[in-house]
């Protein structure tokens, strides 16, 4: 069974209507439950002016609603190497950002309270590098930088330091540093260098001695852990890997707690950018994407205790989608949850966003799902760069944010949208267990997951999402517009009307892991079929379903006597043939899909024991008709001409009379008596039949039937004239 998020609001770009792009958004959840998105607004005040770069914060309230925009700085630099400004929520409330002002070669650290009021700032510099010949001027923040909120309300900034080359002997050099600050951005420790200076050669982007800072998170003892890409020759590097994921733990005062240690190996990492987050129990998780040669990208994660001891082996997120990789920006995120679990999200191409939930023990909840598909959102055709970031908003649900661009397809125009980001809320959810149980929705829109077992899921007053999972479940709607969700394509399920206005949905993939069983739906408004990866969700209103209808009727002879044992066949284009026989009362009934159109045919052999006998008098009357004479009983009807044409060549001839006589005396013939079945409402008088034209098409063509339909049929026995004179 797949777990995924269910949107309750549309995707909205909070900066819609503003000129320019909002570049490299970074997201953080504050202590009060609100969320901020910090990005660089690049725009031209007028077409002749130079571009300006403002640092902007967009705020979302604890219930996920958009709460406003704040300009943090009207002078910031263009994001270097696709690296966003560092942003972090502080433990005592408020937040901090680290960015490079447009007129500075160094980082500026700023802190703000919950209301967004500036509480302090500090210009961060890296120590000057001293060589054998001279002191070299360095600058900070040209590479990647990461902020960590500390338990005491302060923060740690881990940043890169760089300097330009001298005399063209090399193109420059870089090192990494960390420093601790209080909540007002005042330094409380000196700058500590955590990696040696390494020269950047013009022909080498990465060298075995390099270390790159990418992410960090806090530890329960007041310290913090920094995630790195470490060269093979550095502490934390892996043999055979030019660069690989490593981590280093620091104390609350910024001093290193031992050397960096390897997280990934040469066998499961290839330059991709890692991510780290701490969980409710104090452990932390590091995740990264990886693509073995010739294979699709995978997402891997490793969990550690606060001392950096691995808690189990490296885990691969299992699923059919391929994760995107990048050496410039994070392509996977870790999203902690209030229940102690976490989500791993990633990107697969420009149109999919992937999500895998894990519980507090690290076990997967459901399977990997492409929780966002571009073709499901009218506003966008693609979602470039970066995975979804998901925030747990408690009873309000899940807030997801991510980078967007693509084409705005509102109306007939298709206008290229600038880079920016989008947000939407998703329903809170209640998860079942492998056992049978009853799960009820809350007062607002809720997603209910039954998983295994024969569950009963009940909607509440909101617009709920009911996912039964494996087993035979009862999905009962409440007061809102409720949706039943199935993992598969619509054609993999049988959908029929059940008793009492229910709908019965049966998974035809019996025995597969994805088997949904047979679910009974009561007061459900919508069905959703998630289908395959990359295929748009198929949402079907129950009111529009082609639910089964009954096609019924009675087959009788011209005198109204019931015909038992008539073989009836219903054929419709694209559907399997349906066949049955009439009962002793001549009745028949087919169960067909509502809206279907097709043809109903019927045949029956002559039963000498129960059917009227064919006699010489019948043969004589056929001969009379063939010669243009009246039959012995007088003027012949249209049915008499049909019955007389035993060889069914469309004419009544002496040959027909001879075949009828053979049947009467028990001699073999190519043309034997049998029943032809027609619609009971056939206008026989209007056909104008005679001995020269006795051809009539059997069966009935039925137009599309939207509800139960009744149709009766009449049988004519070939060769039998006298009984139906």
What does the pLDDT look like over 219-273, one tens digit per residue? 999 999 999 999 999 999 888 888 899 999 999 999 999 999 999 998 888 778 8
- Give the whole-angstrom CA distance, residue 497 versus residue 520: 10
For 272, residues 6+ apart whose C-beta sits below 8 A from its C-beta are 288, 289, 290, 325, 326, 327, 331
Same domain, 692 and 567: yes
Dihedral of CA atoms 520, 524, 526, 527 in degrees, nearest 10, equals: -10
pLDDT tens profile 286-327:
999 888 776 778 889 999 999 999 999 999 987 766 777 776
> pLDDT digit string (tens) for 38-72?
999 999 999 888 999 999 999 999 999 999 999 99
Domain-located, residue 525: yes
Domain finish residue from 520, 544, 568: 544
End position of a domain, from candidates 544, 564, 579: 544
Q: Is 690 contained in some domain?
A: yes
Residue percentage of the chain with pLDDT more than 70: 89
Residue 408 tokens read as 């705005």
Confidence category of residue 491, pLDDT binned at 50, 70, 90: confident
Query: Is the CB of residue 387 less than 8 Å from the CB of residue 330?
Result: yes
Q: Are residues 632 and 485 in the same domain?
A: no
Instruction: Let me know if residue 324 belongs to a domain.
Output: no
If pLDDT is split at 50, 70 and 90, which confidence band does 380 have?
A: low
Element (H, E) at 298: strand 298-304
Q: How far is it, in rounded angstroms, from Cα 178 to Cα 257?
A: 13
**What is the pLDDT, as a whole number, of residue 499?**
64
Assess whether 564 and 497 both reside in one domain: no
Task: Please give the average per-residue pLDDT across 597-606, as a whole number.
Answer: 96
CB atoms within 10 A of CB 710: 10
Question: Both 474 and 598 in a single domain?
Answer: no
Q: Could you tell me if residue 99 is inside a domain?
A: no
Return the closest-CA partner of residue 278 out of 5, 88, 64.
88
Question: Distance between CA 383 and CA 375 in Å, rounded?
Answer: 10
Give how many domains the chain has, as a whole number.
2
In a domain, residue 571? The reply is yes
**pLDDT, the chain, mean:** 89
Residues 535 and 555 in one domain: no
Tell me: the pLDDT tens digits for 429-451? 999 887 878 999 999 999 999 98
In sequence order, what are the residues at sequence separation of 6 or more whose Cβ sits closer than 8 angstroms to the Cβ of residue 131? none
Position 587 in a domain: yes
For residues 531 and 511, what is the distance between their CA atoms, to the nearest angstrom?
18
Write the burial class of residue 239 (CB in 10 Å: 0-12 exposed, 13-18 middle, 19+ buried). Answer: exposed
In a domain, 169, yes or no: no
Domain end residue (candidates: 507, 526, 544): 544
Residues 674 and 557 in one domain: yes
Is pLDDT above 50 for 416? yes
Instruction: Please indicate, yes or no, whether residues 534 and 588 belong to a single structural domain of this protein.
Output: no
Side-chain-side CA neighbours of 145 within 13 Å: the count stands at 34
| Same domain? 559 vs 615 | yes
What is the rounded distance in angstroms from the CA atom of residue 674 to the CA atom of residue 606? 5
Whether 623 and 480 share a structural domain: no
- Given a cut of 60, is residue 205 above it in pLDDT? no
Round to the nearest angstrom and report the end-to-end CA distance of the chain.
67
Do 564 and 675 share a structural domain? yes
- Angle 152-154-157 from CA coordinates, rounded to 5°: 135
Residue 87 confidence (pLDDT): 96
- Whether 234 maps to a domain, the answer reads no
Residue 453 — very low, low, confident or very high, per pLDDT cuts 50/70/90? Answer: confident
pTM of the predicted structure, to 2 decimals: 0.76
Coil, strand or helix at 658 = helix
Same domain for 532 and 570? no
Same domain for 615 and 685, yes or no, is: yes
- What average pLDDT does the segment 375-381 reach? 59
**Token duo for residue 412:** 């007939």
pLDDT at 168: 45
Q: Which domain holds residue 710?
A: 548-724
């Amino acid at each position: 069974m797949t777990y995924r998020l269910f949107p309750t609001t549309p995707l909205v770009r909070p900066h819609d209507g503003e000129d320019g792009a909002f570049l490299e958004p970074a997201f953080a959840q504050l202590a009060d439950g609100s969320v901020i998105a910090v990005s660089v607004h690049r725009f031209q005040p007028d077409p002749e002016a130079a571009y300006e770069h403002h640092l902007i914060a967009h705020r979302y309230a604890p219930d996920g609603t958009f709460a406003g925009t704040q300009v943090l700085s009207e002078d910031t630099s263009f994001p270097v190497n696709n690296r966003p400004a560092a942003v972090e929520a502080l433990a005592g409330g408020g937040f901090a950002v680290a960015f490079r002002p447009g007129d500075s070669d160094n980082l500026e650290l700023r802190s703000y309270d919950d209301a967004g009021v500036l509480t302090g700032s500090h210009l961060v510099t890296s120590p000057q590098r001293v060589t054998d010949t001279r002191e070299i001027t360095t600058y900070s923040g040209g590479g990647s930088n990461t902020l960590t909120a500390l338990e005491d309300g302060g923060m740690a900034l881990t940043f890169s330091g760089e300097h330009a080359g001298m005399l063209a002997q090399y193109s420059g050099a870089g090192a990494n540093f960390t420093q601790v600050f209080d909540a007002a951005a005042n330094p409380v420790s000196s700058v500590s260098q955590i990696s040696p200076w390494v020269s950047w050669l013009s022909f080498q982007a990465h060298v075995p001695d390099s270390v790159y800072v990418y992410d960090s998170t806090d530890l329960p003892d007041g310290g913090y852990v920094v995630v790195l890409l470490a060269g093979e020759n550095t502490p934390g590097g892996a043999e055979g890997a030019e660069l690989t994921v490593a981590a280093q733990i620091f104390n609350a005062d910024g001093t290193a707690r031992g050397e960096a240690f390897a997280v990934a190996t040469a066998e499961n990492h290839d330059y991709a950018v890692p991510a780290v987050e701490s969980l409710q129990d104090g452990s932390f998780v590091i995740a990264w994407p990886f693509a073995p040669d010739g294979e699709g990208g995978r997402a891997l994660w490793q969990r550690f205790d606060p001392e950096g001891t691995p808690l189990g082996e490296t885990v691969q997120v299992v699923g059919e989608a391929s994760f995107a990789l990048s050496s410039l920006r994070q392509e996977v995120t870790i999203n902690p949850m209030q229940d102690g679990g976490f989500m791993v999200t990633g990107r697969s191409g420009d149109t999919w966003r992937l999500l895998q939930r894990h519980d507090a023990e690290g076990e997967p909840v459901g399977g990997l799902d492409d929780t966002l598909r571009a073709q499901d959102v009218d506003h966008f055709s693609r979602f470039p760069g970066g995975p979804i970031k998901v925030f747990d908003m408690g009873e309000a649900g899940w807030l997801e944010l991510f980078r967007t661009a693509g084409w705005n397809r509102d109306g007939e125009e298709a206008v290229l949208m600038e880079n920016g980001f989008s947000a939407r809320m998703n329903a809170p959810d209640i998860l079942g267990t492998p056992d049978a149980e009853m799960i009820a929705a809350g007062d607002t829109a809720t997603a209910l997951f039954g998983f295994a077992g024969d569950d009963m899921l009940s909607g509440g007053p909101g617009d709920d999402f009911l996912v039964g999972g494996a087993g035979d479940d009862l999905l009962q709607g409440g007061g809102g517009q409720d949706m039943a969700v199935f993992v598969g394509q619509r054609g993999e399920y049988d959908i029929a009307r059940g008793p009492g206005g229910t709908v019965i949905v049966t998974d035809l993939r019996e025995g597969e892991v994805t088997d949904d069983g047979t679910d009974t739906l009561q007061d459900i408004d919508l069905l959703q079929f998630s289908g395959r990866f990359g295929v748009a969700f198929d949402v079907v209103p129950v009111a529009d379903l082609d639910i089964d209808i009954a096609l019924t009727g009675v087959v009788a002879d011209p005198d109204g006597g019931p015909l038992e044992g008539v073989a009836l066949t219903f054929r419709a284009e694209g559907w399997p043939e349906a066949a049955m026989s009439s009962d002793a009362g001549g009745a028949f009934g087919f169960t067909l899909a509502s809206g279907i159109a097709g043809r109903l045919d019927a045949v029956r052999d002559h039963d000498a024991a129960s059917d009227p006998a064919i006699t010489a008098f019948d043969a004589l009357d056929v001969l009379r008709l063939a010669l243009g004479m009246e039959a012995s009983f007088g003027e012949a009807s249209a049915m008499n001409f049909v019955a007389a044409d035993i060889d069914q060549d469309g004419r009544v001839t002496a040959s027909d009379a001879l075949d009828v006589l053979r049947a009467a005396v028990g001699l073999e013939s190519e043309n034997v008596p049998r029943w032809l079945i027609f619609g009971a409402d056939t206008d026989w008088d209007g056909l104008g039949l005679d001995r020269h034209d006795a051809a009539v098409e059997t069966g009935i063509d039925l137009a599309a039937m939207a509800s139960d339909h009744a149709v009766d049929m009449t049988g004519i026995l070939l060769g039998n004239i006298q009984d139906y004179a």
